[in-house]
Structure 1
Amino acid sequence: MATSPNLYMAALFLLLGLLTAILGTGAQSIGVCYGMLGNNLPPVQEVVDLYKSLNIQRMRIYDPNQAALNALRGSNIDVIVGVPNDKLQEMGTNPSYANTWVDTYIKPYWPAVRFRYIAIGNEAIPGPNAQYILNALQNMYNAIARAGLNQIKISTAIHMAVLEISYPPSHGSFSAEAAQYLNSIISFINSRQAPLLANVYTYFSYADNPRDISLPYALFTSPGVVVYDGSLQYQNLFDAMVDALYSAVERVVGSNMEIVISESGWPSAGGFAATIGNAQTYNNNLIKHVGRGTPKRPGKAIETYIFAMFNENQKQPAGIEQNFGLFYPNKQPVYNINFTPSMQDDGIFSIISDVISF
């Protein structure tokens, strides 16, 4: 039966809209962490210019470095700025410190610098500073409200060590040591309609247990389903880890809280399975994948920040920690990476063929 030209054109326009949404979502979901633990890194203005030249629209910095903030003015790059762990005690016990922090590092730069989140600590739970995070979040929230900047969300960045159970993903739950702090912290963050930040590295899970975790599963290259969890199927470890966190969070506040992946990456040297080829495969596949969501939350793009922009020669311990960069300090790429997901990689060509056939 012949197809109506009007019906054909409607289908074609629908496809073009879908392509725009998919490709745009993938690109906009990706940021890159700008670590500064190196004595040979390029000037901050050159770093910001590099982000812009690559169309990287989001950046995470780990402290309110004022040179970086000045370079970010007018860049249209969304920024996560961190309160370092060694400031958590003062932030949590002294509300005036939070006010001063906002008056010093946020108000003078807003809105020329597009602050997206303020991260109160990084991987501080569990640990000696965990006890200060909830009060620090509350003090920072009040300081931001006092400044009239409630559009900037306040959160904290956790890591996978907070989970006691991560397999299967639907059984994900926090350890008792982490839960004594996290349950209240997550409830507070969620009540302010902010996401939880989480650092998720399939590399470390694979390196710690290569007997039970395959390299293709960690690199997004498994040819088929690896883990069956009820009705959910997992072809890559990243999704399984993120959904385990979602399961743990849902046990505290239900299913309406989002998780932002504030770090993920793969080292290119310095340790087991740390090769340029593996790092290139992981990060390129990560970029292609995050626009699709996870089995637990399909079709919902995952805001994700790759760690890191540069190899940092002063990170400790030496070895893999110094080799997570997409670039060498001279701004030459460690390997080629594409920040725009391609149509072919997302399986879009098959959809185009179906429409043309239609």
Structure 2
Amino acid sequence: MADRLVYSPLPIALLISVLAVLSSVHGIGVNYGLVGDNLPQPSAVVDLYKSNSIDGMRIFNPNHDVLEALRGSNIPLIVGVEHKDLQPLASDASAANDWVQTNIAAYSTSVAFRYIVVGNEVIPGDLAQYVLPAMQNIQTALDSAGLQVNVSTSVALSVLGSSYPPSAGAFTPEAQTYMEPIIRFVASRGSPLLVNVYPYFAYRDNADKIALSYALFTSEGVVVTDGAYGYKNLFDAMLDATYAAMEKVGGADVAVVVTESGWPSDGGFAANITNAQTYNQNLINHVGEGTPRRPSSIEAYIFAMFNENQKEAGTERNFGLFYPDEQPVYPISFA
């Protein structure tokens, strides 16, 4: 997740829209992280997703215990590729084939795979060069196995050099080197771009310029006017800045899925249960509306299912909707 990112004042970019691939999830899923030593067994976690009517799950690596627990659950699943595997998968098609056979094909008859995420917030950076070739090799391996699963990558808002007003959204020159060919690739496949969107960090770092109500979806009127578009919340402005950046490099028809968004309930500035509950419940309620720039349903994934006690101290440990004992941190409804 993106606690370390630098955000420019007001909108930076992001988020999500329904993608046109095979089966559709229109709504809210939740990231299932495993950086804790006191978390429930995966089978209990799957039951918790079901009992709360959560529409989808994202895991950050192909954990086989989780995959076994998901068999027959019909919960749409996003699976991440671990960063240590990016270079081998990029350079060796047979390694990509082995990865797909071991982690996807072996479970494909009973697990509802939605996307494979090749790299989480690695653009720009030392691993960025491996993202597209790894995506291509994994997609080829999936196609060869007859698996209708699409591949993408997940980016942080640090890929944007300009984000305000939203129509000025543009990639940094360094990020664009990698993003432009990646966007061409996902466009050719009908895949979405995956983006992590955190109004919390934008607000925390610019509280003198951003109203809390604008970050929490509670503004009563338009806060930012950008040509024909009026913005009542920061989430939409961030997402539309991402769309604008994509349009500038040939991605006008590429959907965006928000793979992470959330608000911490403790551990830092404005991190409390009231704000976390307000943000996440309002995000759930908002996904059907789309953004001013793209008024269609949004596919988004809240970060995260649990407070994870082995993450960095502070807000990083307090994004969970649930405590490890499966009790809710605060009431929230996915209905």
The TM-score normalised by the length of structure 2 is 0.92
Pairing partner for 1:336 from 322, 328, 331:
331
Is 1:158 the counterpart of 2:155? The answer is yes
Q: CA deviation at 1:253?
A: 1.7
SS in 1 for 2:186: helix
Match of 1:68 in 2: 66
Match of 2:309 in 1: 313
Q: CA deviation at 1:57?
A: 2.2
Instruction: Say which one has the larger Rg.
Output: 1
Match of 2:173 in 1: 176
| Structure 1 unmatched ranges of 5 or more | 1-26, 341-358
Match of 1:82 in 2: 80
Match of 1:232 in 2: 229
- Residues 238-281 of structure 1: per-residue CA shift (max 9 Å, x gap): 00000000000111124211000000000000000000000000
Q: CA deviation at 1:60?
A: 0.2
Q: Distance in 2 between matches of 1:310 and 1:274?
A: 16
SS in 2 for 1:291: coil
Pairing partner for 1:121 from 113, 116, 119:
119
Mapped contact 1:57–1:76 kept (Cα < 8 A): no
- Residues 327-352 of structure 1: per-residue CA shift (max 9 Å, x gap): 00000000000102xxxxxxxxxxxx
How many residue pairs get aligned? The number is 312
- Note the 1:165-314 alignment, pairs <5 A: 165-298=162-295, 300-314=296-310
Q: CA deviation at 1:28?
A: 3.9
Match of 2:30 in 1: 32
Q: Distance in 1 between matches of 2:162 and 2:91?
A: 32
- Note the 1:12-51 alignment, pairs <5 A: 28-51=26-49
Amino acid at match of 2:332: I
Mapped contact 1:81–1:119 kept (Cα < 8 A): yes
Amino acid at match of 1:290: V
Q: Distance in 1 between matches of 2:42 and 2:302?
A: 18
Q: CA deviation at 1:86?
A: 1.8
SS in 2 for 1:292: coil
- Residues 57-85 of structure 1: per-residue CA shift (max 9 Å, x gap): 20000000000000000001000000012
Match of 2:6 in 1: none
Mapped contact 1:290–1:302 kept (Cα < 8 A): yes
The TM-score normalised by the length of structure 1 is 0.86
Q: CA deviation at 1:129?
A: 0.3
Q: Distance in 1 between matches of 2:188 and 2:266?
A: 42
Moved more, 322-331 or 81-90: 81-90
Q: Distance in 2 between matches of 1:217 and 1:57?
A: 26
Q: Distance in 1 between matches of 2:26 and 2:131?
A: 29
Q: Distance in 1 between matches of 2:122 and 2:57?
A: 21
- Residues 107-157 of structure 1: per-residue CA shift (max 9 Å, x gap): 1101200000000010010111001001001101111011011x2110000
Q: Distance in 2 between matches of 1:207 and 1:90?
A: 38
Mapped contact 2:187–2:251 kept (Cα < 8 A): no
- Residues 269-323 of structure 1: per-residue CA shift (max 9 Å, x gap): 000000000000000000000110000011x11100000000001112x110010
Q: Distance in 1 between matches of 2:28 and 2:314?
A: 26
Match of 1:324 in 2: 319
Match of 1:131 in 2: 129
Q: Distance in 2 between matches of 1:56 and 1:181?
A: 33
Q: Distance in 2 between matches of 1:28 and 1:74?
A: 20
Q: Kindly indicate which of the two structures has a greater share of residues assigned to helix.
A: 1
Q: Distance in 1 between matches of 2:251 and 2:154?
A: 19
Q: CA deviation at 1:29?
A: 1.1
Q: Distance in 2 between matches of 1:193 and 1:287?
A: 25
Mapped contact 1:117–1:154 kept (Cα < 8 A): yes
Match of 1:349 in 2: none
Mapped contact 1:38–1:313 kept (Cα < 8 A): yes
Q: For CA contacts below 8 A with separation 6 or more, give which structure has more relative contact order.
A: 2
Match of 1:96 in 2: 94
CA RMSD of aligned residues (A): 1.1
